[in-house]
Chain A
Amino acid sequence: MDTLTSSGIKGFREWIKKANKSIGDFTGIFVDRAKDMDREIKGFIEIDKKSIVSRAEQNKCQTDGRLWGIPIGIKDNICIEGELTTCASRILQGFRPPYNATVIEKLTSNGAVLFARANMDEFAFGSSCETSCYGPTKNPHDLSRIPGGSSGGSVAIVASGQVAAALGSDTGGSIRQPASMCGVVGLKPTYGRVSRYGLIAFASSLDQIGPITRNVTDSAEMLEIIAGYDEKDSTSVNIEVPKYVNALKKDINGMTIGVPKEYFIDGIEKDVLENIQAAIKTLKSMGAKIVDVSLPHTKYAVSCYYIIAPAEASSNLARYDGVHYGYRSKNAADLVEMYTASRTEGFGQESKRRILLGTYSLSSGYYDAYYLKAQKVRTKISDDFKKVFSVCDCVVTPTSPTTAFKIGERMDDPLQMYLSDIFTISANMAGIPAISVPCGKDKKGLPVGIQFMAKPFAEETLFNVAYAFEQGV
């Protein structure tokens, strides 16, 4: 059983083959095992054994399905028909969507067994998984520390081997930053590569669903399954999905890798910096051409993000008003009171902060100064990357300036919390793909992550370099 903990999809696949049990039986075993392992970590909001097993038994996919029987964790903001899906928020209390997200359809038709309700920051607002209304998830490497966020639950259950892989969502680093802090592989695909239909929106122009896996191979396999054009999502792009697993080559000889100077700044922990610098040397020794590049608008990325993302969020979250579904306050005498009380009681503090921020920056009189200006800078950030990718195949950076911090350490300091995503936000702003891969540990034994970014739809480049790096260290 223990080989399962570290070996990802392949390990589970082999275990299933050997076990010679019915899908219901072995799924039951996986569920019990996860429940046991999750007691302290709390990567799941809850594990509904009956539902997971019966869903597995009812799946019509044949045993040759690519993910047949493989347990996959699902972040609590990806809709599964008939299952509680709440974005870890009280406002969506009791909400069971009558539809599946497109990625859920794809996983199911490939035989995956869905482990729903991985914990997260409320509505994905956060970098530590502490804003969940169900309480924090803990880092499997050190239970006193945060796992990162917002996909902290998805990452923790993969890092602890409860499931073979998981889906998260990444709006400003919510897959990559926790992957880095828990020592797993996290991919944010190109904007439009994976359908957002059924992903409960945080910031529509930035959100992307992506895989969280034990290794780069699993990441490629998962993306191959979930990617593709979806007529239900106008922002998904109609470009054929390559065989990503074919891109898993150890050879990066001649690949040009850019090192953007704006990502090597004060505030990076010494251990993190040293690990990344050593990694760059490794890449060079493998035959990659390392070049210095500049992404001059990087320094504006966090500020712009905190204009654009909350603006979209303030509008996306307006629908949670107690009228049609979710939480409705009983302390209301009329309509306006019902709206006010339901939202006051239903949303957590960080959600309220972002709704207010977004409402403010979209208000008439402020729109031009904030939202419009931020969009203009966003274009500049995007242009920076275009320029850089004309001279190199990908860029390499740290994923996060620090390793996992202590639970509670930054909860009273939103600005410090926001800076945790300083290296990941730009990829969302530019819509480009980015992957975080484990890159050793710091002196405390906490995982460090290295990030690779490439031009839109160049996920193959990322898999190539990430796989080579993974195999090389």
Chain B
Amino acid sequence: MSYRDKYETVIGLEVHVQLNTKTKVFCGCSNLFGAGPNTQVCPVCLGMPGVLPVLNKQALALSIKIALALGCDIQKNMKFDRKNYYYPDLPKNYQISQYDMPLAFKGCIDIELEDGSAKRIGVTRAHMEEDAGKLMHDTGGVYSLVDLNRTGTPLLEIVSEPDIRTPQEAHSYLTVLKQIIKYLGASDCNMEEGSLRCDANISVRLRGEKKLGTKVEIKNMNSFKAVKDALTHEEDRQMDLLEDGEKIMMETRLWDDKKGVTASMRAKEESHDYRYFPEPDLVPFEISHDLMEDIRLSLPELPDKKFERFMNVYKLDKKDIEVIILEREVADFYEDVVKGFNDAQNVANWVKGEVMMHMNERGVDIAGLKLAPADLASLVKMAKEGALSYLVAKEVLRECIDTGKKPESIVAEKGLRQVSDQGEIEKIVDQVIAANPKSVEDLKAGKENAISFLVGQVMKMSKGKANPRMANEILRSKLVG
């Protein structure tokens, strides 16, 4: 038993999600990522004197959507607050946020543990706020550049309860959260582009201890893997310190992905007094019952419900379902294909195999493949019914994706229809037997692997069109008897 087993880790996560609205949260500027520096700005998001914020209704609706999907209670009386601090990426030197009355509270996320059991992680609160700009520091330390395109991007900050016990659970929490939000179409949740950001609070305590240990905040993690690595490193660090009889300092630490360590950024005593107070430029308002119900009704089927339904309706393997429903669009595509050809398992094999391979190969999502579900359905059907060999079907799919042509026309143009005519295949088999006396002898001598070579020769000679099952049978009947 390792000394680590004496300790228990307690983790809570703060996730910032950028909402993919058309415009920013308090002004009409475009919210698209990647434009030239300071090109998507206006007097309002620049915080110029005399300008006023106006709440973006779409940002509110998307926030409510996420909150409902996380099972949260929604604040009826909405209020914004100002969080005051000085930083050059924050042109007003205050951030419009929500302090004591967050949009949503008391939600949860269900994750699966390594042993297959389920665990519920509480969501303490979710609140709306505006993003700050971006600073780029001169490596020589002489100057910093400010890009305010991101200023005013709508954010939803989602705070978990300290229910997470391992770095792996933290990883699972983030994975499920991302999946839900992507299902809602509320954010891209792309950590590299910063549309999902995560800070973690972590402490350790002796097992059985009720009181929480001293917590450390970890920042600067740029992928889910980094979150897991940083937390793994940090729990080790804290356990080692405690084991050595030392104390944990309450502080903020930065994760260094390259070195694989956390390093102290600031002690808690240096933390800000944000002087929160109600934002007087935005009047408090009530979220109407109608708006709530409209949003509730617009919620799509969420991953957990979809999983259950796929189990019941398509009777697929658990792992297959997980892969197929990972993205809502892929799941929808799958179901559309099954509508065209009702063989759930066969279609599942194609989707998680060939289709996803093409997505990865091309670096696109399912929509980017521009593959019509009906086309895949007819292709799978042709393969299943023996009209195409599997190998040929794969090639047809590739061409279908490359050219956008219908699979039927590709098959017709190239004459790729599988040959299942007994007489035709026999002719080819005879030629193969004549051309490969050595393998024929081997097979007759009982060397079973010779048969696959001979079938391969038949396929080659038929340019892949011969029905391989029939070729196999005919070869056997002629040679083995």
Which A positions have Cβ atoms within 8 angstroms of B? 77-79, 85, 87, 92, 95, 97-99, 101, 196-201, 203-205, 231-235, 311-312, 314-315, 318-321, 323-325, 335, 339, 359, 362-364, 367, 371
Contact = CB atoms under 8 A, between A and B. Distances in A.
Contact of A233 (B48, B49, B52, B275): B52
Given A324-B91, A364-B275, A97 B48 contact: yes
B14 to A, nearest CB: 20
Given A315-B82, A319-B92, A359-B275, A235 B49 contact: no
B94 A318 contact: yes
Contact of A364 (B47, B146, B273): B273
B55 A234 contact: yes
A87 B282 CA distance: 23
B277 A315 contact: yes
Contact of B52 (A78, A234, A318, A335): A234
8 contacts: A85-B50, A95-B49, A200-B50, A232-B54, A319-B92, A363-B273, A367-B275, A371-B277
Which secondary structure dominates where chain B touches chain A?
Answer: loop
Contacts of A367: 275-277
Contact of B50 (A101, A234, A323, A359): A101
Nearest to B53: A234
Given A312-B280, A318-B94, A321-B86, A232 B52 contact: yes
Interface in B46-63: 46-55
A99 B27 CA distance: 14
B43 interface: yes
Contacts of B82: 315
The CB with the most chain A CB atoms within 10 A, among B46, B52, B84, B146, is that of: B52
Contacts of B282: 234-235
Contacts of B49: 79, 85, 87, 92, 95, 97, 200-201, 319-320
Given A318-B93, A319-B93, A362-B275, A205 B43 contact: no
Closest 10 CB pairs of A and B: A318-B93, A204-B280, A362-B275, A205-B280, A200-B49, A200-B50, A198-B50, A79-B50, A319-B92, A364-B273
A319 B91 contact: yes
Contacts of A78: 50
B281 A197 contact: no
B300 interface: no
B281 A234 contact: yes
Contacts of A312: 277, 280
Nearest to B279: A204
A234 B43 contact: no
Contacts of A311: 277
Contacts of B94: 315, 318
B71 interface: no
Contact of A363 (B48, B50, B275): B275
Contact of A235 (B43, B84, B281): B281
Contacts of A77: 50
A32 B283 CA distance: 44
B378 to A, nearest CB: 52
Interface in B390-438: none
Contacts of A371: 277
The CB with the most chain A CB atoms within 10 A, among B49, B52, B86, B91, is that of: B49
B427 to A, nearest CB: 80
A319 B47 contact: yes
A339 B93 CA distance: 11
The CB with the most chain B CB atoms within 10 A, among A101, A231, A362, is that of: A362
A153 to B, nearest CB: 18
A375 to B, nearest CB: 8
B277 A318 contact: no
Given A321-B93, A359-B275, A371-B277, 14 more contacts: A99-B43, A200-B50, A232-B54, A234-B53, A234-B54, A234-B281, A234-B283, A235-B280, A315-B82, A319-B92, A323-B91, A323-B146, A335-B88, A362-B276
Interface in B91-118: 91-94
A335 to B, nearest CB: 7
Contacts of A235: 52, 280-283
Nearest to A79: B50
A314 B84 CA distance: 10
Interface string B250-289: 0000000000000000000000010111001111000000
Contacts of B48: 97-99, 324-325
A201 B49 CA distance: 7
B127 to A, nearest CB: 18
Contacts of A97: 43, 48-50
A201 B281 CA distance: 10
A320 B91 CA distance: 9
B280 A199 contact: no
Interface of B: 43, 46-55, 82, 84, 86, 88, 91-94, 146, 273, 275-277, 280-283
Contacts of B86: 318, 321, 339
Nearest to A323: B88
Contacts of B53: 234
Contacts of A339: 86
A78 B49 CA distance: 9
B110 to A, nearest CB: 36
Nearest to B85: A318
The CB with the most chain B CB atoms within 10 A, among A315, A362, A371, is that of: A315
A318 B84 contact: yes
A199 B55 contact: no
Contacts of A199: 50
A183 B309 CA distance: 79
B177 to A, nearest CB: 31
Contacts of A321: 86, 93
The CB with the most chain B CB atoms within 10 A, among A87, A198, A234, is that of: A234
Contacts of A92: 49
Nearest to A197: B52
A92 B54 CA distance: 25
A443 to B, nearest CB: 42
Contact of A198 (B51, B91, B277): B51
A97 B50 CA distance: 9
B43 A362 contact: no
A85 B88 CA distance: 23
B51 A362 contact: no
A311 B88 CA distance: 22
A271 B109 CA distance: 72
A339 B88 CA distance: 10
Contact of B84 (A196, A323, A362): A362
A247 B280 CA distance: 32
Contacts of B55: 234
Contacts of B88: 323, 335
Contacts of A323: 88, 91, 146
Nearest to A195: B52
A175 B275 CA distance: 30
A318 B88 CA distance: 11
A235 B280 CA distance: 8
Contacts of B281: 201, 204, 234-235
A227 B91 CA distance: 30
The CB with the most chain B CB atoms within 10 A, among A85, A320, A324, A364, is that of: A324
A233 B280 CA distance: 11
A362 B92 contact: no
A201 B48 CA distance: 10
A320 B276 CA distance: 19
A339 B48 CA distance: 17
A256 B341 CA distance: 82
Nearest to A201: B50
Contacts of A318: 84, 86, 92-94
Nearest to B26: A234
Nearest to B94: A315
